[in-house]
Structures are given as C-alpha cells and as structure tokens.
Structure 1
C-alpha cells in the first residue's frame, strides 16, 4: 500500500507555469513522501518532528549558504508532512479479513 501511495504522490507532477507555485507543490509532494515513511516510526509526534526536521533542513542550510531561505517553503513542508503522515496512518488502520461467507472491514482510528 505504501508503494501505491508513493507512486501516486510522485505522479502528481506540477503543471502550473508560476515558478513559486511550482516550488511549493514540489515541497508538498516531497515532504508528503517523507511523511509516509516517517509515519512508520510509530508515534505521531515523532513522525511529525522527524518529517518537519528532515524537510526543513534545506531551508536552514540556505540560511548559511548562498541559497534563499523561504518561510513559505517550511509551511509547504508542514502541509506535505501532514498529508503523508495522516494518509499513511489512515491506511495502516484498515484491516480486512475474509472467510467463506463474510468480508470483515475494520477501521481503527487512534486519537
């Protein structure tokens, strides 16, 4: 299931001509993929901290190098991490079981 989510998010290539919008979409797509994998760490707080830390490190590097740091990129990273983590948690909590007469579908949501 994780591979399907990853392939779907990667296939959503930005087609807009605005460079700023295109950059934000790339940040969201990249960080949502990181979010899918960090969600496997278990606790939601750990996943968010790891994902946001990993994806925002580029902006920190830009601060001390010749790059141009952008706080809106960090916001786009947070949105992407949220999408990836929540989608991964949603699909992780779906449980299907089959028998000869029944199909059981259970969804467990943890707050």
Structure 2
C-alpha cells in the first residue's frame, strides 16, 4: 500500500465524496443502509482510480476492504452529524443537542 496515494485519493478525494454522500443521505431522510450501499460503490471507484492512475492492484481484496471501510466510516460520521443537526433545527421544541453525535428529548 502506497501511503501518499491512500492519503490523497482515499482520504482526501473519496473521503470528501463520502462526507458529501453521508450528508445528502441524511438531508433527504433516507435510511442508514444507503450509506453502506453507496460506500461500496465509492470503494469500487477508489480502487479503480488507484489501479488506473497509480498502477495499483485492481483485484486487491484487502485494499478494497480497507479503502471501503474508511470511506464508509467517513460517510457514517457525516450522516450522523447531519441527522443530529436536522433533528435539532427542524424540531427545536422536541429535541436539543446532547453531544456532537446525539440529541435528547426536551422534558418540560
């Protein structure tokens, strides 16, 4: 595994795409499993660009799993942060932020 390629392509380029994907899924109120489905597709794209641009191994299962897990983790983080922001801004009389990744009901 080439570390600069991993940082540049997987973390920066596809990590940014995964973050935007997680936000888009949360904003449109789609279920969480969509993050996993689209994350698997982003992992395929990442593996292909590593192969095409940097002479990486296309059929590397371990490379695909590592890259895809990182992409899905970034997307899950974006999904949760966005979902929390939507809940507390859309329903301020029901919920308040408890931490970065959670909300709680307002009991009055």
Q: The TM-score by the shorter chain falls in which range?
A: 0.5 to 0.7
C-alpha contact 2:23 2:82 (8 A) present in aligned 1: yes
TM-score (norm 2): 0.55
TM-score (norm 1): 0.54
C-alpha contact 2:23 2:78 (8 A) present in aligned 1: yes
- Which residue number corresponds to residue 86 of structure 2? 92
Q: How many angstroms apart in 2 are the aligned matches of 1:79 and 1:106?
A: 26
Unaligned runs of 5+ in 2: 98-102
> Which string of whole-angstrom CA distances, capped at 9 and with x for unpartnered residues, describes residues 6-62 of structure 1?
xxxxxxxxxxx93432233222222111111012342432432343144223157x3
Unaligned runs of 5+ in 1: 1-16, 98-102
Q: Runs of 4 or more off by more than 6 Å in structure 1?
A: none
Please tell me the root mean square deviation across aligned C-alpha atoms, in Å.
3.5
